[in-house]
Amino acid sequence: MDPPFEEKYKSLLTNGTLLSKDKDDVIMSYYEEHELPIIDLHRLTLSFSEREQCIKEIRRAAREWGFFQVVNHGIPQEILERIQLEQRKLFHHPFSKKAEENILNLSENNGYRWGNHTATCLRQISWSEAFHMPLTDISKIGGDNKSLRESIEAYAATAEKLAKEMTEILAENLDVSSTYFQENCLPETNYLRMNRYPPCPFYSEVFGILPHTDSCFVNVLIQDQIGGLQLWVNGEWISVKPHPEALLINLGDLFQALSNDVYKSIRHRVLASKQVERLSLAYLYCPRNDAVIESGMKPSIYRKFTFEELMKQNSRDIEETGCKLGISRFLM
């Protein structure tokens, strides 16, 4: 069921070319593990003072970390367990079926992707596979995958509500129109990305997924308890300690631009694991392609651009350099 990583990267793995030994690029055997801020969202439903204190904690975590964990988030445990089960079943199909048969009937190049086919050294290899799907495609999933479609629909409805609530709380003090997200971020403009990181015999030399930032406003992330997620904070990589009852929320490039750098889209990566597979699922809260991203705070650090412009620039950067350069391309 695993992609043919060793066959694809045979020459790179044989030659062992790292290309870079920058601190930003090193994979060590141990990183200090940190527990990110944990915020109980039930407090948003309590008294005015409790709600305001909870909002302050959300904004502080977003400013200081760009990532935070939420409990009592409103998504039933049954829905989370069901979609994780369906995700595992999907990835455990034979590789040929995943790569060639468009088993989910998705419109964007099958939606399935694996590795990094432009890699020229070990540090550019991503030892992972993913199904990346626009929410508009979910209704097309049928046949043997009816249960998967139903679990995605149930999860997406609740994750969209959570993502919208987080963006509106974070944007309240940014001179953003009160109707901005309602007008530009619709249920059908969002994306779901299912990730699997197979066991990797070269875990000390390659990444599970390369360092990157997300392109969305916010990402609602389900991850298992395997660990491996790392954030670039204060000039060093730190490992995130999984929390069994929490979802991860992280801010993407669009929010950094919209907030004029009040909030940051933090670079993150996943380390490959030697013996066990790791699964995660990202709900990417995104706007319409023609949505204009412009900070209301002056002077603006970034020029005005649309979501479509950002995505096209990302594609060009990946094709030309092997990695996404993000909103640095839109600095004034």
Q: Choose, from 113, 278, 288, 329, the residue flagged as catalytic.
A: 278
CA 144 centroid distance within chain: 27
117 backbone φψ class: left, alpha, beta (φ>0; ψ -120 to 50): alpha
Tokens of 198: 């197979």
SS3 sequence of 85-102? HHHHHHHCCCHHHHHHCC
Structure token digits, residue 135: 């929410």
| CA proximity to 127, closest of 230, 19, 201 | 201
> CA nearest 1: which of 245, 255, 198, 253?
198
Question: What single string gives the DSSP state of each residue in 203-256?
Answer: TTTSEEEEEE---SSEEEEEE-SS--EEEEETTEEEEEPP-TT-EEEEE-HHHH
| Active-site residue flag, 278 | yes
Question: Residue 185: is it exposed, middle or buried by C-beta count within 10 angstroms (0-12/13-18/19+)?
Answer: buried
Coil, strand, or helix at residue 3? coil
Residues recognised as catalytic: 278
